[in-house]
Chain A
Amino acid sequence: MTTTETSPAEVEDLDSFRERARTWIRANLAPSTPRLGFGDMTDEEELAELTRQRGVQRQLFDAGFAGIVVPTEYGGAGLTPAHAQVFSEEIAGYDYPTMLGVPNFTPCMAVILEFGTHEQKLRHLPPILKGEHVFVQFLSEPSSASDAAGARTTAVRDGDEWLLSGSKIWSSGAWRADYGLCLARTNWDVEKHRGLTVFLVPAHAPGVEMHRIEMLNGSKEFCQEFFTDVRVPDADRIGGVDDGWTVGIRWLYHERSFAMSPHLVRPPGAGEFGGTPDTGLVKLAREAGRLDDPLARDMIGELRANSLVQGEAIKRIGHAIATGYLNDQGAALSRLLTGVNGTRSSTVSFQLAGEAAMAWDPDDVGLGRRGIAFLSRQAGEIGGGTTEMARNVISERVLGMPRERAGDREGPYRDVPKGPSAH
């Protein structure tokens, strides 16, 4: 395997990188403008927006700013997480491809980078970095979401290919994606965690039937896929046969720790909580006529504190994992923090908006959106692994407390008690 080893002496220093990034960003990218949420766009508008963002990603790629920590041989810039941080800081206020971040760059690309063969990385990473291929996760299933290793989607070997059958769910944006990173069961006759394998599956391959799920806020971003004998070449298997949970554990790590991932371009402080910059709270309170209300001001201050603390805490947790002060399961702390802060933020925004969040003039939906967002408040504590899962992981894997009783540790997965198949 050939990898490009870069000695520290050859890495561009951060100041010069910052200058180069700043100059390029200002010369080439448009200032960021508030965009509609997915729920407010038609499919055509959303596809057009995705095409536009793919173009911006291509610009980044051509300028050498795509995949900042990805080795150059795979199309990246071959730099360090510190460079990625600098780039995120510099891009604040400018347009960047938000739709390609999660789950495309992380966890999907991060997993391919970590477990793919040299050949697989040569084949798949450049198209991702150019914005040509967008990945989603085929991870959750109707019968098992937080319990990801409970996958029942089955892959059966057929010569140099595999045939996949089953169903995946909660894959966000799958309808407009190119590939899915898929966790499937390849062996029912061994223990639950020993019979899994990971594949790269074309999202619209023959045999994939896709349904879009309407969420209570009107969004149709989440999809459910039904696989019937979907053919996947063995060359697109990531990691060893039946060794998919080795990949899966890291996959979940990347998912939980997205907020501190060097693969994600994310200006600090920009929309820490579901797209509301902190100054937006002042605007909201003013719009609701409550900026002079001490109770409203107390809540705004509380959220501002949460936001600043969250930024520092995520940095600390990332650093703690990198230095071994915490094991990599500590990423669950970051997941729990973003989850509970998002919930609180949604609640406060709703309370600030008052009755206007309940019924609104169609031409003036600003405050009304807070009501809609509030209805799906819990989504941020569910998606990406529930906060209960995060609390289990923190107490058991970080603090070393006794694990919950489990009925799925021993014997073939075939014999593990299961509820009725949900699909």
Chain B
Amino acid sequence: MELEITEDQGFFAETTRRFLDERSTTAALREMRDDPVGFAPDYWKQGAELGWTSLLVSEDDGGGTISGRAVPDLALVAFEFGKHAAPGPLVPAAIVAGAISRRGTDEQKQLLEGLLSGDVTAALCAGEPTRPARLGNVATEAVASGDRVRLSGVKGPVEAGAQAQVLLVTARTGDGLTQVLVPSDTPGVTVTPLDGLDLTRRYATVELEDVDLPASAVLGEIGAADADVDWQLQVAIALQLAEMVGAMDRAFAMTVEWSFDRYSFGRPLASYQELKHRFADMKLWLEASHAIADAAASKVEDGAPEAWDFLSAGKAYVGHYGVELMHDCVQIHGGIGVTFEHDLHVFLRRVTVDSLQYGSVTEHRERLTAALEAQEDAA
């Protein structure tokens, strides 16, 4: 993460770190293994008090940033989430609250109180379970007629889909996108929990079958939410990158420590040049991942035109080297590294899941190539 943060940011990150040190221990995470929700209500409410859900929300709406730069502030939390493989729907909760603050009507903003306090949780229904999966593909339809809007389609995998009371659904209306705030108990909404890799992060498929809502449920304009959806994806990926770096940082530190403590043939693992060189590569991947994650968060905050290049570079690089680093840490641990008892897999799971959602390595490489092609064509 950022090498130079303000005193306020440091204090803010430290508060979350201490809370997670206490609440998100690997022992606690293991106990949550089969818990259908994956986090305790009081845990989430206390996290919300620490500012997890309010950073993207304007001060007028009861939120506010720490440093004046919301995305880098929130990335500090996401980094701690990664370091602790922490439970809780950080990304969807913060983004849905932010989206409502940016575009919501006074009526919609009444949702904010519960989201900010942590009493209500929200899910971001952005992706769809198409084969092949493609970032940004939206087939779900929103049809407006009179003062009603009707939704049909399938969203997923949706983080915290089965836990959320509010679903922010992205759908298509003609050539444009529409976003609708859907109470999860609306008739026609079927939420099916999925099994998944992460110990505490739960995913679900959300089916929408002729879901009929008043037009007042539409966030922003019908068929004109493209820029909002783009911003939400950008923030989600920036946070995901910070989270991956946090998990990599923790696993790397654990493995360095192990290499000093573990002796084979009368010498520590850290004395073997073959392993030392692998640690050097991993240290490089880690620092480079920190660098691109920070840059991406900063570009998103600035609304920079090149933000997507940096996000895709981050997903392509960290998505690849982050996963490689985690598996190398497992390899260097030996047999213990592949057991459930050992802590390593908790972080391996988080990095693996993050490497896939919001676009795979391959998909982001293709995006980078397409962007270069456009750049070259324009020149």
Residues of A near any B CB (own CB < 8 A):
278-279, 281-283, 291, 294, 297-298, 300-302, 304-306, 308-310, 312-313, 315-317, 319-320, 323, 325, 332-333, 336-337, 388, 390-392, 394-396, 398-399, 401-402, 404
Contact = CB atoms under 8 A, between A and B. Distances in A.
Interface residues of B, number: 46
A388 B281 CA distance: 10
Contacts of B295: 308, 312
B372 A309 contact: no
Contact of B288 (A301, A310, A401): A310
Interface string B285-321: 0011111101100000000000001101110110000
A309 B279 contact: no
Contacts of A298: 362, 365-366, 369
B369 A297 contact: yes
The binding surface of chain B is classed by DSSP as helix
A281 B295 CA distance: 24
Nearest to A333: B284
Nearest to A297: B369
B372 A282 contact: yes
Interface of B: 3-4, 256, 259-260, 267-268, 270-271, 273, 276-277, 279-281, 283-284, 287-292, 294-295, 309-310, 312-314, 316-317, 362, 364-373, 375-376, 379
Given A305-B317, A305-B364, A279 B372 contact: yes
A27 B24 CA distance: 60
A282 B373 contact: yes
Contacts of B317: 305-306, 309
A422 to B, nearest CB: 24
B372 A320 contact: no
B280 A309 contact: no
Given A279-B375, A298-B365, A308 B4 contact: no
A308 B369 contact: no
B50 to A, nearest CB: 25
Contact of A282 (B268, B291, B367, B369): B369
Contacts of B375: 279
Given A320-B3, A394-B280, 9 more contacts: A298-B369, A301-B368, A308-B313, A309-B314, A316-B288, A332-B280, A336-B280, A395-B270, A401-B270
A423 to B, nearest CB: 29
B283 A301 contact: no
A97 B367 CA distance: 35
A105 B38 CA distance: 57
Nearest to A393: B280
A186 B370 CA distance: 58
Nearest to B309: A308
A338 B277 CA distance: 16
Contact of A399 (B3, B279, B370): B279
B291 A305 contact: no
B298 to A, nearest CB: 10
Given A278-B372, A297-B365, A396-B276, A308 B310 contact: yes
- In order of increasing CB-CB distance, the 4 nearest A-B pairs are A301-B365, A395-B276, A391-B280, A305-B316
A305 B313 contact: yes
B292 A319 contact: no
B287 A395 contact: no
9 contacts: A304-B365, A304-B371, A305-B317, A312-B291, A312-B292, A319-B3, A391-B277, A392-B273, A394-B280
A333 B289 CA distance: 13
Contact of A302 (B316, B367, B371): B316
Interface centre among A281, A294, A316, A320 (most CB of B within 10 A): A316
Contact of A316 (B271, B279, B290, B316): B290
B3 A402 contact: no
A68 B4 CA distance: 25
Contacts of A317: 287, 291
Given A279-B376, A396-B276, A402-B271, A309 B288 contact: yes
A304 B270 contact: no
B366 A282 contact: no
A323 to B, nearest CB: 6
A391 B364 contact: no
Contact of A297 (B283, B312, B366): B366
